Chain A
Amino acid sequence: MNISTEISDRKMKQRLLKDKIFTNAMIFLAFLSGVPLFLILYQLAIKGYRQLNISFFFEEAPDTMEAMVAVANNEIIPGGIANGIVGTLIIVGLASLIAIPVGIICGTYLAENAEGKFAGLVRFIVDMLQGVPSIVLGVIGYIWIVKPVTNGFSALAGSVALSIMMLPSIVRSTEETLKMIPGTLKEAALSLGVPYHKVILKVILPTGISGILTGVILGISRIAGETAPLMLTALGSTVVNTNITEPSSAVPLLVWEFYNDPNLVNMIWSASLFLLLLILGLNLSAKAIAKKWKVQY
């Protein structure tokens, strides 16, 4: 039998064509995955930009009657989402205050005791925590804080639920960052007679700061848009509330409330746009920090 390794012209052309189709299909699909973000931004901007005025940031959400009159007269709905913005800042801020120190210290422990049995257990639990549905965290916040501590829905309960939610991202990013730091750095500090706690606080953590901060910001951006846990904890409020033991609004909660009120439906777009831009901004700043503060060793 005579086996020829020659490829006929016709076959060669077919092959080149297949190559071309495959390459272009890849480019197209890659492009496709980027499309939704722009479609969402476009949709929100087109429908919401008119609401984005000064009063949007500084006034409380309007009530149904005001909105109904404005819609009937074909005017912009008055008022804004100040109660939601303040609520989100307080709830997320408090959640960060709880989760950041705990998360960084836990992550440092895991990095320092990579092999330990207890560390392995903690690592496993933190991974599991990442998979807990957010509504379950809301239930936990309700049982732990709403009922026994604040005797009613409160911003504090929302913060506790959200702090549990952001913990895994901080722990794991701290651990991964610190693991990358060469051990010789720790030796250098210890050989100068520096006590262990100062080695960690003044040498190891500052060296890993960019990675840790990136994890923290991604954690914040993850909880800033959460709605489900807040429904069972912070509940919502029609006025600006700075008391953490009282019910509080939040931007994602407002979106949900606007959706449930036919007269306020038009506020959804601007509130969603604001929330999306906030989270995009946080993500971009995380990227910028990771790049700018990167330590060379």
Chain B
Amino acid sequence: MESTILKQVQMPTEQKYKENVVIKNPIENIESPVLKIDDLSVSYGGDKYAIQNVSAGIAKNKITAIMGPSGCGKSTLLRAINRMHELYPNTHNKGGVYLGDENIYELNPIQLRRKIGMVFQRPNPFPTMSIYDNVIAGFNLNGIKLKRSEKDEIVEKSLREVALWDEVKDALHNRGTFLSGGQQQRLCIARALAYTPDIILLDEPTSALDPIATSKIEDLLVKLKKDFTIVLVTHNMSQAARISDYSMFMYLGELVEYGKTKQMFTTPKDKRTEEYLTGKFG
């Protein structure tokens, strides 16, 4: 009994499977990627890297899921895409991330985050603002002056996109924090959409929600991909299988496998991916 557990723990070591890694440069796998992650390594201080030498292209108007066990670096990778990881002190990185032809590490993070929006694990509407003000917060907080009619239009459009309009249209000026958890999370997605970013990053957006709210958000993401490129971190494999077009599997800070979701779930190329997907570890 003990030895089998030990085996499972020891199996996915780097030496053992190094030769199995088929995809050498995953950027070439995606046609005309909107975002290119080029040999990116991120450290939160010292020589220890949370993610190492990750290269991947993100396909336009598709959902890309990042999977992996806890601590594999999937959130770090996601945050590195709009530089939110820099909120921690002493971070440094090697390599680059290219949005179009621009290296995002040469952009101002404020400008960058206006192009790449983010939704977090726990719904976090601004508690002092109404639903209306939450949606328009990206404009208000950045000092962009809009006419009342323009604001109304953006708010309605964004709330319709997240299928929240019918539920809140009579209570737009109530506090956003009085909504249910699922509604709050959709409000947060609307807040990110209102600013019309190119890419939306979602960091386990449904892990704090119940199954019904989760399925609503999943439906929503599938609908949204026609207008936005979506990158999603999830520790829920079935969620990745249900909604994503491309999947990444990360392990110990390394991008182990990256490809079409269907292919990865049916015929994974790497032994570690297969073991993770079949529930042997993770």
Contact = CB atoms under 8 A, between A and B. Distances in A.
Asked if A and B bind, the verdict is yes
Interface of A: 182, 184-195, 198-199, 202-203, 206-207, 209, 295-297
A285 to B, nearest CB: 21
A189 B127 CA distance: 12
B1 interface: no
Contact of A193 (B111, B126, B128): B111
Interface in B175-198: 175, 177-178, 188, 191-192, 195
B117 interface: yes
A184 B128 CA distance: 14
B118 A206 contact: no
Interface string B118-142: 1011101111100000000110011
Contact of B124 (A185, A193, A194, A198): A185
Contacts, number: 79
B127 A192 contact: no
Interface in B85-141: 87, 110-114, 117-118, 120-122, 124-128, 137-138, 141
A199 B143 CA distance: 12
Nearest to B123: A184
Given A192-B117, A195-B110, A297-B177, A184 B84 contact: no
Nearest to A185: B124
B114 A193 contact: yes
Contacts of A188: 120, 124-126, 188, 191
A182 to B, nearest CB: 7
Contacts of B128: 203, 206-207, 209, 295
B251 to A, nearest CB: 26
B128 to A, nearest CB: 5
Interface in B228-254: none
A192 B120 CA distance: 12
B136 to A, nearest CB: 11
A183 to B, nearest CB: 8
Given A188-B191, A192-B191, 7 more contacts: A188-B124, A192-B117, A192-B137, A192-B138, A194-B138, A207-B126, A296-B177
B82 interface: yes
Nearest to A189: B141
Contacts of A184: 120-122, 124
Given A187-B87, A198-B142, A207 B110 contact: no
A207 B175 CA distance: 12
A192 B141 contact: yes
Nearest to A184: B124
A191 B191 CA distance: 10
B175 to A, nearest CB: 7
Contacts of B121: 184
A194 B110 CA distance: 6
B84 A190 contact: yes
A192 B113 contact: yes
Contacts of B143: 198
Contacts of B178: 296
Contacts of B141: 189, 192, 194, 198-199, 202-203
Contacts of B195: 192-193
A295 B118 CA distance: 24
Contacts of A193: 110-114, 138, 142, 195
Given A207-B128, A295-B127, A191 B113 contact: yes
